[in-house]
Amino acid sequence: MSVRKVASVVIAIALTGAACAGSPPEVPVRADGTTDPELQIGRDVYTEHCKSCHGANGDRRSDSDLTTLDSDDIDSLVDIVADGLRRMPAYSSILTDEQIDGVIRYSTEVL
């Protein structure tokens, strides 16, 4: 393998690694080839507002692991995001209800 080829392989591996570490998981594609628009909104909100604390995969904080949220308890999760909880910031003046619903669905269904 030439030096150039080795260098491009190394760069490709580095870029793939960065994408994995940095981007929250994609919204799953449905059987008809489309994605759920509310989940897509949720992913955009998560990437912009939540990833910095909760991590790209939702599991960075041991005190609030978003990968193990109880999906039967959607209303109280919406309240936590809207009103905040101790060190968790409140989002009711920053996000619309639709964005909060979307990010909660994204957290419980995709993360």
Query: What is each CA distance from 110 to 28, 66, 73, 92, 103, in whole angstroms?
Result: 8, 10, 16, 22, 10
Does the protein bind ligand HEC through residue 111 (CB under 6 A)? no
Query: Which member of 56, 81, 110, 111 binds ligand HEC (CB under 6 A)?
Result: 81
Total number of residues that touch ligand HEC (CB under 6 A)? 22
**63 vs 26: CA distance, rounded Å:** 24
Residues 68/86, Cβ–Cβ less than 8 Å: no
Q: Which of 60, 88, 92, 109 binds ligand HEC (CB under 6 A)?
A: 88
Identified binder of ligand HEC from the candidate list 39, 41, 56, 77, rule CB under 6 A = 77
Q: Which is nearer to ligand HEC, 66 or 110 (CB)?
A: 66
